[in-house]
């Protein structure tokens, strides 16, 4: 059976996402929450700081607005997919935030504040 390029790209993206998630889960399991947090939040220099700030902003509303405008003007057939993606991501994030309200943020959960 011959698959379309869109389906192949979907499969590749899904597999890469699952491999990354599984790798992060395994590393976190071996290091523990505190060590893994400190590993990720170490001082890796100004280039890494800028890169992580950029990655953080990819999850914010501006990206959705840019995608929405692009889809409206150039790829209107993908508008339902974009709206569904926005709804699912919003429900997942808000659902997790509401279901885990008592969990302390990482900087408050680490007992020894001197190592942060």
Q: Report if residue 68 sits inside a domain.
A: yes
Residue 113 belongs to what H/E stretch? Answer: none
Q: Report if residue 90 sits inside a domain.
A: yes
Q: Report if residue 1 sits inside a domain.
A: no
10 CB contacts (<8 Å, ≥6 apart)?
Answer: none
**What pLDDT tens digit does each residue of the chain (116 aa) get?**
576 768 888 889 999 999 999 999 999 898 888 888 888 777 788 888 888 888 887 777 778 888 889 989 998 888 888 889 888 888 888 888 778 777 766 667 677 766 66
- Please tell me the total count of domains within the chain: 1
Q: Report if residue 79 sits inside a domain.
A: yes
Q: Report if residue 44 sits inside a domain.
A: yes
Q: Report if residue 14 sits inside a domain.
A: no
Ramachandran assignment for 45, one of left (phi > 0), alpha (psi -120 to 50 degrees), beta (any other): left
Q: Report if residue 73 sits inside a domain.
A: yes
Full domain range(s) for residue 55: 32-115
Q: Report if residue 22 sits inside a domain.
A: no
Contact present, 41 and 115 (Cβ < 8 Å) = no
Task: Supply the pTM of this predicted model.
Answer: 0.51
- Interatomic CA distance for residues 25 and 19, integer angstroms: 10
């Amino acid at each position: 059976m011959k698959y379309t390029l869109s389906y192949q790209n979907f499969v590749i993206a899904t597999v890469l996402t699952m491999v990354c998630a599984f790798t992060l889960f395994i590393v976190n399991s071996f290091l523990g929450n505190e060590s893994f947090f400190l590993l990720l939040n170490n001082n890796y220099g100004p280039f890494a700081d800028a890169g992580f700030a950029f990655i953080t902003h990819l999850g914010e509303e501006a990206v959705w607005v840019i995608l929405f405008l692009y889809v409206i003007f150039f790829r209107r057939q993908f508008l339902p997919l974009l709206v569904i993606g926005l709804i699912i991501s919003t429900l997942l994030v808000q659902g997790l935030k509401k279901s885990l309200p008592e969990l302390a943020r990482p900087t408050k959960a680490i007992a020894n504040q001197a190592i942060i």
